[in-house]
Amino acid sequence: MKKMKPNGLALSAFAVVILLVLSGCGENAQAGGDKSGEEAVPVFAVNTTTAVQGQISDYLMLSGDIVAGSTVDVFSDAAGKITALRVAVGDRVWKDTPIAVVDPSRPGMKYVPGVAKSPIAGTIVSLPAQVGMTITQATPIARVSGGGALEIKLFVAERFISKMALGLPAVITLDAYPGESFRGSISEISPVVDPASRTMEVRVNVENPGSKLKAGMFTKVRIITEQKDNIVKIPSTAMVQRFGENYVFTVEPDPSDPAFKIVRRKVVTPGILIDGVLEVQQGLNAEDEIVVRGQSLLEDGVRVNVVEHTAPLSATN
């Protein structure tokens, strides 16, 4: 019997059948593969901290010099030449202590020398007079600091005048005592504004424990213009602003698997912002864990991995 050779058409049909069978096997293999391999859930790395209930303060930062609370100049009752000085700068004097001897004599006229006396008790802080100097009754011989409470002389710009009030607390720092602060309050407000500088003079009395502060020292003064207590505050970097809304992301356990954590998007009402600390008026509770870094890609309900939890803000600002 004679064998038939397959022609080209038969071979082509056979090849198509083989391809279809192989294609079907591939689909079945994909469908019947590892069914346990579910789609990976994205997890975002974040840094967090804790919202704090406490105090926040708005303030005005100024600088000024410490001056004596009561300073008096010493004058002579008569014009003449100073023939002797009885004190030096830094000396402690009492009321009626002799300061200088003044000779009112003139050529051809001899008078009894007079003595200029201190009008108050205190310390000699300045001594512009010198022996041999001729003075008048209007020439100051010495300046006496009463030694009472010290004050700080400040000049407030006109735009901040409305924030000033007697009794406002102040925190004073000096380069001479780094890391240390002193307390004070506004004791005097000038009734006029200097038309040249457009500033108003304000005096702040300052507590001086240990007599560390001296007249003439330069200070930095933080005047507390507004203070709120028992408010919720967070770092300002925690708040996100999108599409006219202000919100933060809080971290809590995933209800479907407590081994993981998710974030919740909470709309908040911000209050005052001071030095990177933000008051939250509504929408957040104290002790809530909030995201402070890595929130730009977050959405409500996504899983997160807390890489670092930073220390919360201080309760007192």
Tens digit of each residue's pLDDT (9 = 90 or more) over 250-292: 999 999 888 899 999 999 999 999 999 999 999 999 999 999 9
Between CA 193 and CA 188 the distance in angstroms is: 14
Query: How many helices (H) and strands (E) are present in the chain, helices listed first?
Result: 1, 22
**Domain presence at residue 34:** no
Q: For the whole prediction, is pTM greater than 0.75?
A: no
Q: What is the pLDDT of residue 26?
A: 46
Strand pairing category for 92-93 and 98-103: unpaired
Q: Return the CATH number at 294.
A: 2.40.420.20
Question: Residues 233, 218: one domain?
Answer: no
Last residue of a domain, one of 92, 121, 145: 145
Between CA 284 and CA 234 the distance in angstroms is: 10
| All residues at 6 or more sequence positions from 26 whose CB lies less than 8 Å from its CB, including other chains | none
Strand pairing category for 142-145 and 71-74: antiparallel
Q: What is the pLDDT of residue 28?
A: 45
Question: Residues 86, 136: one domain?
Answer: yes
Question: Residues 246, 222: one domain?
Answer: no
Last residue of a domain, one of 228, 246, 277: 228
Last residue of a domain, one of 228, 252, 273: 228
**pLDDT lower than 50: segments of the chain:** 1-36
Between CA 262 and CA 283 the distance in angstroms is: 18
Please state, for a pLDDT cut of 70, what percent of the chain lies above it.
87
Main-chain dihedrals φ then ψ at residue 198, nearest 5 degrees: 55, 45
**Domain presence at residue 26:** no
Q: Return the CATH number at 108.
A: 2.40.50.100
Q: Return the CATH number at 209.
A: 2.40.30.170
How many structural domains compose the chain?
3
Q: What is the pLDDT of residue 38?
A: 57
Q: Which residues pair with 93 in a beta bridge?
A: 122
**Domain presence at residue 12:** no
Question: Residues 264, 216: one domain?
Answer: no
Among residues 186, 206, 302, 217, the alpha carbon closest in space to that of 251 is found at: 302
**Domain presence at residue 38:** no
Note down the domain range covering 253: 43-56+229-309
Among residues 284, 286, 290, 287, the alpha carbon closest in space to that of 251 is found at: 290
Question: Residues 104, 174: one domain?
Answer: no
Q: What is the pLDDT of residue 148?
A: 62
**Domain presence at residue 117:** yes
* DSSP H helices in 165-316: none
Question: Residues 111, 124: one domain?
Answer: yes
**Domain presence at residue 29:** no
Question: Residues 256, 284: one domain?
Answer: yes
**Domain presence at residue 101:** yes
Q: What is the pLDDT of residue 147?
A: 62
Question: Residues 64, 182: one domain?
Answer: yes
Question: Residues 161, 216: one domain?
Answer: yes
Question: Residues 134, 153: one domain?
Answer: no
Q: The tokens of 30 are what?
A: 């994909």
Q: What is the pLDDT of residue 8?
A: 47
Question: Residues 223, 251: one domain?
Answer: no
Q: What is the pLDDT of residue 270?
A: 95
Report yes or no: 295 and 250 within 8 Å, Cβ to Cβ.
no
**Domain presence at residue 87:** yes
Question: Residues 167, 211: one domain?
Answer: yes
